[in-house]
Amino acid sequence: MLRTRIIPVLLISDDYIVKTTRFSNPRYIGDPINIVRIFNEKEVDELTLFDIGIKGKDEINYNLIKNIAFNARMPICYGGGIRTIAQVEKIFSMGIEKISISKSFILNPILLSEIASKFGSQSTVVTFDINRINKDEFCVGGNLICNIEKIKQLIVQANNSGAGEIIINCIHRDGTDEGYDQDLLDKIYFTAKSPITIVGGASSLENIFTVAKKYPVIGLGVGNLFIYKGKKKAVLISYPGDHERKLIQ
């Protein structure tokens, strides 16, 4: 049975976990293995890892992925630098349950079909990095200017090509604590044929629960809220307890 998932989203850069604001100014958070072990103890639903430091590098950091997968006691989705079937096969062989492609889908849509055909849609995710320009315009994947209808077309195309999950990663809300972009979610939620996950801006547990109640089958990606505590943003890893999670089931 499908259910709402609350998913910590961790950003990797040069072997460390960092946190950004609107995809800029990465701040060091800590060692990924230590953070994964803490999330093990908190019995998180799953983890999503994005390597944001991969640009300009020749290859994916397989050693780090392998160590994270070995230490994790929850399903993991990995994204960052995936361009070939061979890379996907190697990542899955290390114990990662799902992979995410982003720019690679826009540049080479056939890759998604090949991945889904070989490994199954349940293991195949497409992430759309979306930055709101104004009320009606968005930038997707860094340089593709879209209106809502174009974004819907991309979601349909991804599902038709084999994506078993769509992640909407809102650049304009990343690290802001302003709440999820529910206006965007309202317009695209029913377009997806697969589960959809929204990332960016979670401001409180109440914000998470409100969105979860409105959209019955959704993934809620969370960064700041599960990493920082207090106005001074001291690093303190957290996650809702059993009682709190049951409120949205």
Beta-bridge partner residues of 48 = 9, 77
Cβ atoms of 166 and 196 closer than 8 Å? yes
129 is catalytic: yes
Q: How far apart are CA 104 and CA 80, in angstroms?
A: 10
Q: What is the pLDDT of residue 243?
A: 80
Q: How far apart are CA 82 and CA 2, in angstroms?
A: 27
pLDDT in single tens digits along all 249 residues of the chain? 567 999 999 999 999 999 999 999 999 999 999 999 999 999 999 999 999 998 767 789 999 999 999 999 999 999 999 999 999 999 999 999 999 999 999 999 999 999 999 999 999 999 999 999 999 999 999 889 999 999 999 999 999 999 999 999 999 999 999 999 999 999 999 999 999 999 999 999 999 999 999 998 899 999 999 999 998 899 999 999 988 877 776
Query: Could you read off the pLDDT of 231-240 as tens digits, one per residue?
Result: 889 999 999 9
Q: What is the pLDDT of residue 151?
A: 98
Q: Is 56 left (phi over 0), alpha (psi -120 to 50) or beta?
A: left
Q: What is the pLDDT of residue 58?
A: 75
Cβ atoms of 66 and 87 closer than 8 Å? no
**Residue of 55, 104, 98 whose CA lies nearest to 82:** 104
Amino acid at 84: T
Cβ atoms of 78 and 91 closer than 8 Å? yes
Q: What is the pLDDT of residue 62?
A: 96
Cβ atoms of 10 and 48 closer than 8 Å? yes
Catalytic residue of the set 45, 51, 129, 174: 129
Q: What is the pLDDT of residue 2?
A: 65
**Residue of 25, 84, 15 whose CA lies nearest to 49:** 15
Beta-bridge partner residues of 18 = 11, 28
